Amino acid sequence: MDREDELVLVVEDSETQALKMMALLEEAGIRAWHSATAEDALDYLGGNRPNLIVIDYHLPWMRGDELCRQIRMNSATSDILVLILTDDAKDSVERQGLESGADDYVPKSVESDALMARIQALLRNQKRRADTSHRSQVSYFQKHRVAVVDDSLTYLEYLKKELEHDGYDVVAFEHGEEALDYLTKMSCDCLLVDLVMPKMNGFELCLKLDNLRTRSGSWFPLLMVTGRDSKEDMMHALEAGADDFVSKSGDIAILRARIRALLRRKVQRDEHERISNEFRGKELEVVRERTEREAAERRGALAEQLEVANQELKETQAHLVQAAKMASLGELVAGIAHEINNPLAYVMSHLDTIERVLDGVANTIATHSSTPEAKLFEKAQVRLGDMRGGLERVRDLVVKLRTFSRLDEGAFKKVDMRENIESVLVILHHRFGERIEVETSYAGDNVIWCSPAPLNQVVMNLLSNAIDAIESDGNIQVRTERDSAAFRIVVADNGHGLAPEIKERIFEPFFTTKSIGKGTGLGLAITYRIVQSHRGRIDVRNRELGGTEFIVTIPLNLAEISNG
């Protein structure tokens, strides 16, 4: 417990005494709160929990010992340390204070440093209570065992009889070494130590016993009893680890009261620990039951999770295979386009040269238009025009092949989907042949934000399925539509359409109606994934006059969604 976490409640009706005590505590770095009456103190304890309560014995309406009894009778405050201050020198007052449940009793006439030594000893005890995690438990039905260490056999015997008369189980030792040896094997509830002893004095023994308490985790109070009643000895003893200091020359009733106060403190500590251990045990049991239940639920869901993971793995593998195929196709198309483009540029360059040369001699030959050579010249010009038209068609094909093979454009960007669709139509032209007529209709604006290569794959998959759905001659319609929110690509055919039971499964991976070796069932599944990655949707419906229509919808705010 840090010093700034320590809190002391001062219950004092004298404003002067209260200010003096508050200043003393704050000078030591201890937070303090002041209540002028017992009633105010009880109100304060209703919402706060100090580490120590310093109470003036003579309070208005309720004495300090009566307030102490109130604190002890309440389970929420019964373990708070209490120190009673008084200016009454009567022994009976001290006994009443200790009997009421106070942990210590100090005259107001004591010097400030001695008072602070008492307070710090109590707070040190409170700190050990918070730090110690394992302590012995004491049954309420067994006698308290009190150990006494004193080299005076006469006083030792006297004290032993007095304590046994009070119902304690007393063990007596003449030397500190004997007590240390005993306590390493056995336990006790309170230990009385004489200050002046041969070989090992009370200060040294207290230090060793305090160290033993710390190592073992078993707390027992230490009470130093001495014939040398001085402030210096008392402060030295408290610094060495003693919890209280009593003069041998005083009334034996005071010693009894001190022992009872220390034992009461130990009982409260042990009871607090017992209750805490019970709560910890119940908490552990609840945690264990919850853990077992959660483990059972996890085991019950494990098979389903594995199935889902296995399905996702298959879908991912299928997607990677299809993506690899499309990447290979794109590289092949890009390579072919490159290889065609170089000789094409060479031929068209020379074609321009030939046309310029022929244009230069055209006037001369025109004067001999009736000659056979002039007719051959005119025929050559017509052939050159036809050649230019054919070469321009080849050049247009190369441009469309390059558009299709945008493998480096996996990132999202602005794309003219009309160009992309036209490039796919060029790639699939050989499959249309003479039996399938393709009709196209485009919106006024076909520029959208998308990933071009995957969207090319969507169009190719839909067109391939439309071709496969037409068994003989047929018609395929490709159109684009646009409104304020979305861009749509529609691919419709007049094939055999889809049965309801097939329509519900067409986007499932590996589901296909094609014969073995002609279909893998991956095309529409991958198409669905690509459309999802564009935050869009794909719908399918049968046409009224036969055939199927696929509608791919891509949101126009995709750039904002992606950047957000």
- Sheet containing strand 486-493, edge to edge, reads 436-441, 474-482, 486-493, 548-555, 537-542
Rounded distance between C-alpha atoms, residue 106 and residue 93, angstroms: 11
Mean pLDDT, rounded, for 476-498: 92
DSSP 524-558: HHHHHHHHHHTT-EEEEEE-TTSSEEEEEEEETTH
The answer on pLDDT for 44 being more than 60 is yes
Q: Would you state the pLDDT for residue 5?
A: 72
Q: 1-131, which class in CATH? A: alpha beta
pLDDT one-digit tens code per residue, 341-366: 778 777 777 777 887 777 777 766 66
Mean pLDDT, rounded, for 3-28: 89
What pTM was estimated for this model as a whole?
0.40
The answer on pLDDT for 476 being more than 90 is yes
CATH for the stretch 137-250: 3.40.50.2300
Confidence of residue 563 (pLDDT cuts 50, 70, 90): low
Q: Would you state the pLDDT for residue 136?
A: 40
> What one-letter code names the amino acid at 416?
D
Rounded distance between C-alpha atoms, residue 112 and residue 56, angstroms: 16
Of 54, 73, 40, 42, the residue nearest 6 (C-alpha): 54
Mean pLDDT, rounded, for 229-250: 87
Rounded distance between C-alpha atoms, residue 496 and residue 55, angstroms: 98
Q: Would you state the pLDDT for residue 553?
A: 94
Q: Which of 100-109, 229-238, 372-381, 477-486 has the highest mean pLDDT?
A: 477-486
Tokens of 24: 């003393």
The answer on pLDDT for 269 being more than 50 is yes
Specify the residue for token string 């319609």.
477
Pick the CATH number of 407-563 from 3.40.50.300, 3.30.565.10, 3.10.20.340, 3.30.360.10: 3.30.565.10
Of 81, 124, 80, the residue nearest 106 (C-alpha): 81
**H-run or E-run covering 511:** none
The answer on pLDDT for 104 being more than 90 is no
Task: Give the percent of the chain with pLDDT over 70.
Answer: 83
In sequence order, the 6+-apart residues with CB closer than 8 A to the CB of 564 are none
Specify the residue for token string 């046994």.
164
> What one-letter code names the amino acid at 472?
S
Q: Would you state the pLDDT for residue 10?
A: 95
pLDDT one-digit tens code per residue, 124-140: 876 655 554 444 433 32
Residue 78 neighbours by CB distance under 10 Å = 14
What's the maximum distance between 2 C-alpha atoms anywhere in the chain?
162
Mean pLDDT, rounded, for 186-209: 90
| 532 HSE (CA, 13 A, CB side) | 7
- Composition of the chain by helix, strand, coil, percent to 5: 55, 15, 30
Confidence of residue 564 (pLDDT cuts 50, 70, 90): low
For 42, phi then psi, to 5°, come to -65, -40
Position with higher pLDDT, 258 vs 322: 258
Confidence of residue 82 (pLDDT cuts 50, 70, 90): very high
Mean pLDDT, rounded, for 407-433: 81
512 φ/ψ sector (left φ>0, alpha ψ -120 to 50, else beta) = beta
Mean pLDDT, rounded, for 383-401: 72
Of 92, 91, 90, 44, the residue nearest 71 (C-alpha): 44
What's the full length of the chain, in residues?
A: 564
Q: What is each CA distance from 337 to 8, 66, 320, in whole angstroms? A: 89, 104, 25
Tokens of 478: 């490709």
507 φ/ψ sector (left φ>0, alpha ψ -120 to 50, else beta) = alpha
In sequence order, the 6+-apart residues with CB closer than 8 A to the CB of 450 are 412, 413, 415, 417, 534, 554, 558
The answer on pLDDT for 294 being more than 50 is yes
Mean pLDDT, rounded, for 457-465: 87
The answer on pLDDT for 182 being more than 60 is yes
Rounded distance between C-alpha atoms, residue 236 and residue 230, angstroms: 10
Is-contact 405 330, C-beta < 8 A? yes
The answer on pLDDT for 538 being more than 50 is yes
Mean pLDDT, rounded, for 378-388: 79
Collapsing DSSP to helix, strand or coil, 485 comes out as: coil
Mean pLDDT lowest among 82-86, 198-202, 423-427, 500-504: 500-504
Q: Which residues pair with residue 477 across a beta bridge?
A: 439, 492
Confidence of residue 332 (pLDDT cuts 50, 70, 90): low
Q: Would you state the pLDDT for residue 375?
A: 74
Q: Would you state the pLDDT for residue 278?
A: 79
Is-contact 331 407, C-beta < 8 A? yes
